Every structure is written in C-alpha cells, then in structure tokens.
A and B are shown apart, each in its own frame.
Chain A
C-alpha cells in the first residue's frame, strides 16, 4: 500500500532525532543532570541547516556529494523496516541483504569522504570505521542466515510476520540472534563501548573523526543520517523480535493508531535501555572492539549451528 509506505518513510525521518534526544535525555537523568529537552536534536538540525557551509580548498566533488548520498541511503534503509504496517508498497524489496548492502554503501561513501580532505583525523576515522565494518559484516551475514533459517525468508516483512504468528514460541536461536544483533547494532550505530558519539578526543573517536571537516547543511545531513541509522537498528530489532502490534494488511484506522503508539512506546523502551547500558559500561579500547564484535559473531554462529542440528531451536 503506497500510503502506508509514504507514512513509514516520513515517520522514520520525523522520529529519528526524537530517538536520539530521548537517549540523551534518559542518560542525563540517570547521571543526575537535567539534560536538554528531547526536542533539542531538531533545534540543532534546524540551526545547522541555516548556517554557512564551509568546504576545504582541496576538497573534491566527493566531499560535497557524500552527505547527501549517506543520508539518502540510510533513509531508504530505515524506511523499509516494517514499523506500522506489514503491507507496504516496497515490502517485496525489503530484503535484509539488500538493506545491509545499502547501509554498507553509505559507510563506504563516508569513509571515502573522510579520506578525501587528506587530514590525519579523517584518515584514522576511516581506517577504524572500515576495521569495525570488516568484522561486523560477517556477523551480520550470519545473522541473516539464522533469521532465514528460522523464518524461511530473507524478506523483512516475512520474518516479522512469521515471528508474530502464534506458532512460534520461545526459540533459543532467536534468543542468541537477539543478543548478537543487539551487540552488532551498538557497534554499527557507534554507541558507547565501541564509539562515543559525544566525544572529540582523538584517541577514541571513530565516526566523529571522519566527519570532523563537515559544517553547515552537510553536517546536518550527516547527523540526521546517524540518527536514522540508530533508528534503523532499533526498528529492526523491534520488527524482528517484538513485532506485536504491527497492523496486518488491510488494517483499520484504529489498528494503525495502535501500531503507531506501540512503535513509539518501543522506541522509548529502547532509548531507556540503551541509555542505561551506556552509563553502566566504559568505552573500550579500539583494539578490544574486535573481541566485542567477535563475541557477537560467535553467538550468531552458535544460533546457526543449533538451528542446523535441530528444528526445534
């Protein structure tokens, strides 16, 4: 249904800064700070959009094109995840492999843009980002295999529909896949044990180092893309593991309202959980990140193994 697709697409970009704001707010409250309002990211973005955009002298066209591409690709990926309705116009195209491919191309563009200016910070950020990607992507592929083994399809709407059906009870492979996906999501969206979105300390930053040269509307697009990426992972986890409440095809207006309310509720729960996790753990050294993602890879591998041994997992 085209209307629902448009609604989901608009909702994704409208809610993404709110999710980031909620995470920051909860985190501030947990640290006994008042913290900015949950709508602060919207104000930041609108301010950045009106500011002058400064581009370095030796920047190529790639540097100016990358923010738009990164934003567009991340938005497309985030809009494909079923959040309100199973029956959307582009749901046949919402293959997990394609979605992660789109996200990877966005990361490729950003890594190139980090190298383009030739500053050392951009270079180190890109190299770290690619190092993380090279370990996270096998884990993601293995995760897709597990979900495909359990649900019999790599299409996201099919997986969500399958998990929502009452025939699926508690599955060990889904439990392991959930823990694995949560770890991958933390690493990929640059949250605390792997990367700190609030730091500008050269020893620790990954994503911030790549985008250090950006300003004005370029920076706004990149920040919005980062928020959308976090929203993508949260929506993905909620669509695959807690898909209850998503309206079926041909749903009534009330069902859509309920689905929307539940979705916002899930986002709030995810924001609180993420904030709690972030304040209770310290940022790890860059060279320990492979251990972290490696553990996620092992868990997902274990899920695949159990699933192959017996159908009841």
Chain B
C-alpha cells in the first residue's frame, strides 16, 4: 500500500530530475545556437591561429623536445578548427542533428585543444629549459696545463639569467690543444666549483664531455664557475662549454 506521502516524494524526485534536465537542455541549446551561428564558423580557427601567432612572437627558445606537448595540442586545435570550417551544411535527406553533433564536437575539441596548448606553452615559458651556451664567457689563459695555468672561470652575466630558473646544467668539452700531438684525454679531469653569492658552494669532478648540474637557488644574478684542471705532465688542454642550460629542478 502506498500513501500520499510516498507519492509526494516520488513527485519531488521527478521534479528535481526534470529541472536538471531542463537546465541541461537549455545549456545544450545555447551551445548549439552558438556553435551553429554563421559567425562562429571561423571562431575556433581564429583562436587557434591567434594562439600560434602569440606563441611565435614570444618564443622562449630552448630544446625542441620541451615543445612536444604544445606542438601536438596546437596541431590538433588547428586541424579540428579547420575541419569545422570545412564541414559543410548537410545535404537534403541527411539528419540535421548529426551535422550539429559533428560541428559541436569539432568546435569544442578545437577550443579545448587551444586552451591546452596555451597552458602547455605557458608552462614552457615559466619552467622550460633556456639554452645559454652562447652566453658563457671564459676568463683565464688557455691552453691549460699541469703546472702554471690550471684554472679558468666560466661566467654567466645577468642578461643570460633574465629567465628565472633554479638550476644550471653544464657540459664541458676538454680537448687536446694540439690534436696532432699525443693525446692526454685519458689522464685528464677537472674540478668545477660554483662560486655565486647567495648560493651554497658546490664542487664536482668532471671528465671530458661530462655534464654537471648546479643548483642556483631562487634568483641568481650572475654565475661564476671556477675550473681546476688535472692532467698529466706536459699536457696542454683547451676547455669550453658545449652546453649550458638553465632549468627548474
């Protein structure tokens, strides 16, 4: 047996579901109206292309691999936006609701991909790797040897550090000064020390071609790395930075 109270509860559930349904339907209709509006045909493509132009004009450089996610999403956004533009009106006899669904999905996908690409690009801008290899200066006389000239300083000035990153990855090439003479590479190594104000001193030992990471702290204004060469008697070596990349740890 069911009483009036029970019937009343059932009605209120139905009413709740119904109001949700009405609201969802209203939103759907608004989206469909927006998506199907003649002026909205080009909007996703315009947004995707605008994003590409802004990214190109503010390109922060660094290794190409860090742009993989951005590139994928940007490509998808442009492709889906272009597909939306090219997707013509349905022919006579084709269901109109199917056309609306395809256009809606393409538009939504393109907008989401554009937003995702923008966020990925901003992440690269804020935390991505910055190649400063060309801005490393050396102070000291080369070639270095095992006696009088054993030290060299590698410097990065403020302009190289304008993008705030908390670590520096450094790759050092140590080569024979005279490649036509006997090679000293198997007997050569170097001690490199980060000496930068406000950052704890860090010392590493490297072999020719090795890469080392130094922590720079929150905001280093200049970087100085002192290098002490260890090599065999009579050897003369040249040192240069073949890679210097600022990054966030």
Q: Do A and B come from one complex?
A: no
Listed in ascending order, the chain B residues whose CB lies under 8 Å from chain A are none
Q: List residues of chain A with CB under 8 Å of any chain B CB.
A: none
